[in-house]
């Protein structure tokens, strides 16, 4: 028989992600947006003690970890939905709240999985372009004009945005969520990277989800605690949204070890993340200054802990710069996969002082080789 796939999947490309440097011997990976200090030291022993519990099914409701997360944000467990990473939250959202054929609005460049999962669900995607001359920030007037031009089932916002690293302020986000509510538009706010930003508490809407009928906020332990090999994330929203999200999650979607790790981390190691965020804020300023001094087009100081910059004035595109840095033992992200117009852009993250120095020295050698 001839096998046929759904029409929505015929032209759907595979998504491209950073964090592939581990596959290359002798390469330091700056392409991934993770806590550069690795997992907390006590996590290994916590997991070792929990191996004995893997002989039975995990708690399908993830109740202990949901309670821990809820307490941290001043919410109730009914405001928390668990996922196998934030990727499951991203996948489930359009399946629950957006009908096939409806439209969503997604800024570009941004995290590719939003578009990918919407298209898999048969949802039409429109884009609002984040422009370099506006520092890749959402233009409020343009956004509201688009939202008012037709009905959108949902608006996606990544804060800080991946790959640009720009952070939108809380007051602006609240205004957007309220306007969307008036227009009957849900807001999917991805705060996966926000815990590694030094002023998270002044920006996040996580503790305010009960105040809105149209807001869902996604989080992940992957970035904050540098555990991408353990798939555990969560969503925060009012209880009605969470109840609907729970209808489509896979049974036992978060394993025993992941639940144990997540509960321990959120109860005892939150300060580990805030300390990392403060360190990266300081190191980012040093790294930015040193790259500028080399004549590297680093752009403005990042709002977060990673940089998104064009290397066009060096006479290179992102792929060529990535290749040049690989020769120096450094992996950066070629951002061509974020869409047309970003072929000249690269993304790289901030680490600790020693490794940032290694990065700067590698850039210096690349620039020197171009002038020799």
Q: Which two tokens stand for residue 332?
A: 């950066």
**Considering its fold, how many domains does the chain have in total?**
2
Distance CA 137, CA 250 (A): 35
pLDDT category, 219, cuts 50, 70, 90? very high
* Statement to judge: residues 360 and 348 lie in one domain: yes
Distance CA 349, CA 320 (A): 18
* Statement to judge: residues 352 and 309 lie in one domain: yes
Instruction: Return contacts of 165-168, CB within 8 angstroms, 24+ apart.
Output: 165/302, 165/303, 165/304, 165/305, 165/306, 165/307, 165/308, 165/347, 166/130, 166/135, 166/136, 166/137, 166/303, 166/304, 167/194, 167/197, 167/203, 167/303, 167/304, 168/137, 168/138, 168/203
The stretch 180-185 carries a mean pLDDT of 98
CA triple 232-236-241, angle to 5 deg:
115
* Listed residues 219, 241, 270: the one ending a domain: 270
* Statement to judge: residues 52 and 109 lie in one domain: yes
pLDDT tens across 128-159, in order? 999 999 999 999 999 999 999 999 999 999 99
| Domain housing 13 | 7-39+271-371
Length of the chain: 372
CA triple 225-46-40, angle to 5 deg:
30
* Statement to judge: residues 26 and 130 lie in one domain: no
* Statement to judge: residues 63 and 170 lie in one domain: yes
* Statement to judge: residues 329 and 362 lie in one domain: yes
Distance CA 355, CA 349 (A): 11
pLDDT category, 5, cuts 50, 70, 90? confident
CA triple 59-62-63, angle to 5 deg:
105
* Statement to judge: residues 24 and 140 lie in one domain: no
Asked if 169 and 135 count as a contact pair (C-beta separation under 8 A), the reply is: no
Amino acid 158: pLDDT: 98
Asked if 317 and 335 count as a contact pair (C-beta separation under 8 A), the reply is: no
In the numeric block, the tokens 């992102």 are attached to 318
pLDDT tens across 264-291, in order? 999 989 999 999 999 999 999 999 999 9
* Statement to judge: residues 139 and 266 lie in one domain: yes
Q: Is the dihedral of CA 99, 101, 107, 109 positive or negative?
A: positive
Q: Is 131 contained in some domain?
A: yes
Distance CA 188, CA 194 (A): 15
pLDDT tens across 293-344, in order? 999 999 999 999 999 999 999 999 999 999 999 999 999 999 999 989 999 9
Q: Is 176 contained in some domain?
A: yes
Weakest mean pLDDT among 47-56, 69-78, 85-94, 107-116: 47-56
* Statement to judge: residues 91 and 220 lie in one domain: yes
pLDDT category, 19, cuts 50, 70, 90? low
Q: Is 1 contained in some domain?
A: no
* Statement to judge: residues 257 and 291 lie in one domain: no
Helix pair angle (270-294, 353-371), 10° resolution: 20
CATH number at residue 275: 3.90.1150.10
* Statement to judge: residues 59 and 187 lie in one domain: yes
Q: Is 257 contained in some domain?
A: yes
Asked if 36 and 358 count as a contact pair (C-beta separation under 8 A), the reply is: no
* Listed residues 270, 297, 331: the one ending a domain: 270
CATH number at residue 160: 3.40.640.10
pLDDT tens across 232-267, in order? 999 999 999 999 999 999 999 999 999 999 999 999
């Amino acid at each position: 028989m001839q096998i046929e796939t759904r029409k929505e999947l015929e032209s759907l490309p595979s998504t491209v992600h950073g964090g592939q440097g581990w596959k290359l011997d002798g390469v330091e990976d700056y392409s991934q947006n993770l806590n550069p200090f690795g997992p907390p030291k006590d996590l290994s022993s916590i997991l070792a003690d929990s191996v004995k519990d893997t002989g039975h099914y995990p708690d399908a409701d993830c109740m202990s970890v949901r309670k821990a997360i809820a307490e941290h944000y001043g919410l109730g467990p009914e405001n928390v939905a668990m996922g196998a990473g934030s990727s499951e939250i991203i996948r489930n959202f359009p399946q629950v709240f957006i009908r096939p054929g409806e439209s969503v609005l997604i800024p570009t460049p941004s995290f590719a999985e939003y578009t990918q999962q919407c298209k898999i669900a048969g949802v039409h995607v429109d884009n609002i372009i984040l422009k370099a001359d506006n520092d890749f920030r959402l233009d409020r007037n343009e956004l509201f004009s688009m939202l008012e031009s037709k009905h959108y089932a949902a608006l996606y916002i990544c804060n800080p945005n991946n790959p640009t690293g720009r952070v939108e302020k809380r007051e602006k986000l609240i205004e957007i969520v309220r306007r969307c509510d008036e227009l009957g538009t849900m807001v999917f706010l991805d705060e996966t990277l926000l815990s590694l930003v030094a002023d998270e508490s002044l920006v996040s809407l996580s503790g305010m989800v009960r105040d809105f009928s149209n807001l869902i906020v996604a989080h992940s332990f992957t970035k904050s605690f540098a555990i991408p090999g353990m798939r555990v994330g969560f969503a925060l929203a009012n209880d009605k949204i969470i109840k609907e999200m729970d209808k489509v999650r896979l049974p036992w979607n978060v394993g025993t070890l992941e639940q144990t790790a997540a509960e321990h981390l959120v109860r005892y190691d939150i300060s580990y993340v805030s300390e990392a965020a403060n360190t990266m804020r300081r190191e980012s300023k040093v790294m930015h200054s040193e790259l500028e001094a080399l004549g590297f087009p680093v752009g403005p100081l990042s709002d977060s802990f990673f940089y998104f910059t064009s290397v066009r004035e060096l006479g290179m595109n992102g792929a060529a710069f990535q290749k040049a840095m690989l020769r120096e033992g450094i992996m950066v992200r070629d951002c061509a996969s974020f869409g047309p117009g970003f072929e000249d852009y690269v993304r790289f993250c901030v680490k600790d002082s020693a490794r940032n120095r290694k990065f700067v020295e590698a850039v210096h050698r690349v620039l020197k080789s171009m002038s020799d």
